[in-house]
Structure 1
């Protein structure tokens, strides 16, 4: 990895750290962060595959009250760097997923550290607000957000400072049972993450789409683009039915507005 690629990776890591707080451009999502790092390092394919696998895990992560979810941004950036530096290609994806989970938990410490610093910044901004110093408020706001970016950019830079030969030697030195165990464990974590998503989304209105999707996925002739087109078509039909049902509700004041729900209620 040359100097320009390293700089681009750190920039992506910086935006991923800010995205974890801003939630506007979704740079912190594994599919986005891993894909961008794979793109700038010339490993787009493995970046997309790793990002898609980690995304299935991160879909089940959410901040609930004071409980903060694992750090998807650090897990995505660090595991992709290790995968690229290790040079194992698609064979190393399982190991990268296994490494990403403890990194995501470790990222909580950095998150708490930065948010603790942000509390002091908020008090500074309160004093500036009393002085009606709006420029200072904006400046401290940008500093607080930048700290979130540095929370990921600094660990990424430290990982990039490790020579690729050292990372490759370390991964190759792993015994076969540990490597295979991490691969199996990574696959199980992906399945658990997907199960958590289904558990949150599952309803009698959504189950038919899950069943149709699993059945169509078994057809080998259908590509991912074809499956995506079918999914978009089903979503458009559902929204059209929901809209027409909602229009009827305005006149008759009957039904829930959910076409599938009303059909199931009739049975």
Structure 2
């Protein structure tokens, strides 16, 4: 059973990176891969706690153009796997997963450099009219993207649980506490960055209502989401009604102007 879980986790990590750079079926988002990891490992609750934390970290970050960003999907898979397999809990999963996601930046840059050579080779084959060989080249790029996350995951899956458990025994408390604090602060930074680019002042009333419902009235997330959906639906209909009324006023004004010209 454990071997099957190990193989599925490695395949999930490899597919996640391929999907992110290809088909994009949203499987590279932490909450998605976290849910799948939880299904594979048999503990969805722990996996979703870790996935939710990394999802919040990712909110304010985007890899625009050819830039690279921490691979929070990989951090989620590794963190959830180790937390569930070793039984050390959510804090350990975040503390171990976050550095892996950060280190994945270097692998991402390396794979992109390698794929530049594949692109050049495709251009050369195209000029030589060797189109069958040219069409095979993109699959090599896809394979490299799979290896980008598949290899680190395989190393940690087969060597990690026992090794991580031993390492955690020897790590000083200040180090693990520091990683835990950083893991707690980064989601807040992600939310703050997201709010900075959103029309927060315009919807400040809804923000306060949501905070009161969550912090003081203890409304669960599903209930809060439904209330938010109802508010958004009401606001959308109100704005559409205002837009229709403006169009009717403009149309009526245009008709009156034409009537006046005709009378003259």
**Shared fold (TM-score greater than 0.5)?**
yes
**Alignment CA distance shift 1:76-1:132 (3 Å):** farther
What is residue 122 of structure 2 aligned with on the other side?
Answer: 125
What is residue 77 of structure 1 aligned with on the other side?
Answer: 77
1:105-142 alpha-carbon deviations (Å, 9 max, x no partner): 21111111111111111122223444666654443223
What is residue 194 of structure 2 aligned with on the other side?
Answer: 197
1:38, distance to aligned residue in structure 2 (A): 1.9
What is residue 265 of structure 1 aligned with on the other side?
Answer: none
1:56, distance to aligned residue in structure 2 (A): 0.4
Report how many residues are paired: 251
- Partner SS state of residue 113, structure 2: helix
| 1:55-94 map, 5 Å | 55-65=55-65, 67-89=67-89, 93-94=90-91
**Alignment CA distance shift 1:147-1:184 (3 Å):** same
Instruction: Tell me the distance in 2 between the aligned counterparts of 1:220 and 1:203.
Output: 22
Contact 1:95–1:186 (Cα < 8 Å) also in 2: no
Uncovered stretches (5+) of structure 2, i.e. residues with no partner: 252-264
Instruction: Tell me the distance in 2 between the aligned counterparts of 1:87 and 1:105.
Output: 23
Instruction: Tell me the distance in 2 between the aligned counterparts of 1:110 and 1:146.
Output: 14
Alignment RMSD: 2.5
Instruction: Tell me the distance in 2 between the aligned counterparts of 1:14 and 1:209.
Output: 40
- 2:1 is the alignment partner of 1:4: no
1:205, distance to aligned residue in structure 2 (A): 2.6
What is residue 41 of structure 1 aligned with on the other side?
Answer: 41
- Partner SS state of residue 26, structure 1: coil
What is residue 247 of structure 1 aligned with on the other side?
Answer: 244
Q: Bigger shift: 19-28 or 56-65?
A: 19-28
1:209, distance to aligned residue in structure 2 (A): 2.7
**Alignment CA distance shift 1:236-1:3 (3 Å):** same
- 2:138 is the alignment partner of 1:153: no
- 2:179 is the alignment partner of 1:182: yes
Contact 2:79–2:96 (Cα < 8 Å) also in 1: yes
